[in-house]
Amino acid sequence: MLLKGNCLELLAEMPDNSVDSIVTDPPYELGFMGKSWDNSGIAYSVELWSQALRVLKPGGHLLAFGGSRTYHRLASAVEDAGFEIRDQIMWLHGTGRPAHYSFLRPTHEPIVVARKPLIGTVSKNFEEYGTGVMNIESSKFEGRYPTNVIHDGLTEEWSKFFYCSKPSMKERNAGLNSLPEVEIAAKGNGLARTCENCGASTLTGCDCPNRTFSNPKRKNFHPTVKPLELMQYLVRLVTPPNGTVLDPFLGSGTTAVAAILEGFNWMGCEMTEDYWPIIEARVAWAEAQPKTLL
């Protein structure tokens, strides 16, 4: 279910102990591409994570992405709200590009692993609420136990870990055939512009006289889309069978798509109206997929 509006206001209207897990990609609070939603401080809001704690069932898990430079403030707010910090998952990838706030190429993104305090023992909590434990068996990779490292498979030494690369353009746009392409600014987004004469990119260059470069166009123009395989893995790790996943920062809807493909129910909040058609189209695509994808 897509909830349109501010997540802090929407969560306040939800009943206590009503969702089984929270898997989300909050703003990294870096002002990415000048986006106002990435510079509001909401990810550091103890009030927000207190509401998340309230709606989560006892023993339910929270997985929330953070930026390498700002993760500590996210984790502190989550802990101050009453969550127990259980671990940290590190997603390693090799395709990051330096931004204006860093001279180092970003190749990892940490994920806070937190849990709402149990009521009684683990077994008693699980018996009453179905939460409190992770789905280890269904999350094994090549028979190995899940680790707190996820990577993109670029080097052989990492072959014993589950790995996941950033999403391809085909994956980002799945189900969006009816939506128009939107021009996005290449500067600060790590994207190349294209020569309108010969089609060459600013990365390769061209020799056209009076050449004019245009910005790239995207159907799914959200700047920080997470890989579907990664989100499927995460929702599967912490959500009980037939459970409901909540994402307070739905973005372009990847968590919702992942939940649907894994057979879970979902709820997600998104305040940016421009992303609503993308979410709705991607959700419709996921719901139409054959069960062989589950």
Q: How confident is the model at residue 189 (pLDDT cuts 50, 70, 90)?
A: very low
pLDDT tens for each residue of 162-175: 667 778 888 888 88
Task: Name all contacts of 38-42 with Cβ < 8 Å and 24+ positions apart.
Answer: 42/7, 42/8
Can you tell me the distance from the alpha carbon of 65 to that of 28, in angstroms, rounded to the nearest whole number?
A: 8
In this structure, the answer to whether residues 231 and 281 fall within a common structural domain is yes
Can you tell me the distance from the alpha carbon of 252 to that of 258, in angstroms, rounded to the nearest whole number?
A: 12
Buried b (16+ CB within 10 A) or exposed e, 251-273: bbbbbbbbbbbbebebbbbbbbe
- Residue 115 in this model has a pLDDT that exceeds 50: yes
176 assigned to some structural domain: no
In this structure, the answer to whether residues 93 and 200 fall within a common structural domain is no
150 assigned to some structural domain: yes
Phi/psi for 22 (5° steps) reads -130, 120
Give the contacts of 100 (CB within 8 A, at least 6 positions apart): 188
pLDDT tens for each residue of 117-159: 999 999 999 999 999 999 998 888 777 888 898 876 655 555 5
User: What DSSP character marks residue 78?
Assistant: H
Strands 84-92 and 149-150: parallel
194 assigned to some structural domain: yes
In this structure, the answer to whether residues 58 and 21 fall within a common structural domain is yes
- Which pTM value belongs to this model? 0.84
In this structure, the answer to whether residues 86 and 19 fall within a common structural domain is yes
In this structure, the answer to whether residues 202 and 262 fall within a common structural domain is no
191 assigned to some structural domain: yes
Domain range for 142 is 2-170+222-293
Structural domains in the chain (count): 2
- Closest listed residue to residue 254, CA positions, set 290, 225, 285: 225
In this structure, the answer to whether residues 214 and 96 fall within a common structural domain is no
* Overall average pLDDT of the 251-272 stretch: 95
| Range with lowest mean pLDDT among 60-64, 106-110, 251-255 | 106-110
In this structure, the answer to whether residues 82 and 63 fall within a common structural domain is yes
CATH of the domain at 98: 3.40.50.150
175 assigned to some structural domain: no
Which of residues 218, 247, 276 is at a domain's end?
218
Q: How confident is the model at residue 253 (pLDDT cuts 50, 70, 90)?
A: very high
User: What DSSP character marks residue 244?
Assistant: E
* Overall average pLDDT of the 71-96 stretch: 92
In this structure, the answer to whether residues 11 and 126 fall within a common structural domain is yes
Can you tell me the distance from the alpha carbon of 237 to that of 139, in angstroms, rounded to the nearest whole number?
A: 6
The percent of residues above 70 in pLDDT, for the chain, comes to 76
In this structure, the answer to whether residues 203 and 147 fall within a common structural domain is no
In this structure, the answer to whether residues 68 and 145 fall within a common structural domain is yes
In this structure, the answer to whether residues 213 and 108 fall within a common structural domain is no
Write down the mean pLDDT value for the chain: 84
Burial of 66 (0-12, 13-18, 19+ CB in 10 A): buried
* Residues 178/184/188/192 CA torsion (nearest 10 deg): 80
In this structure, the answer to whether residues 60 and 188 fall within a common structural domain is no
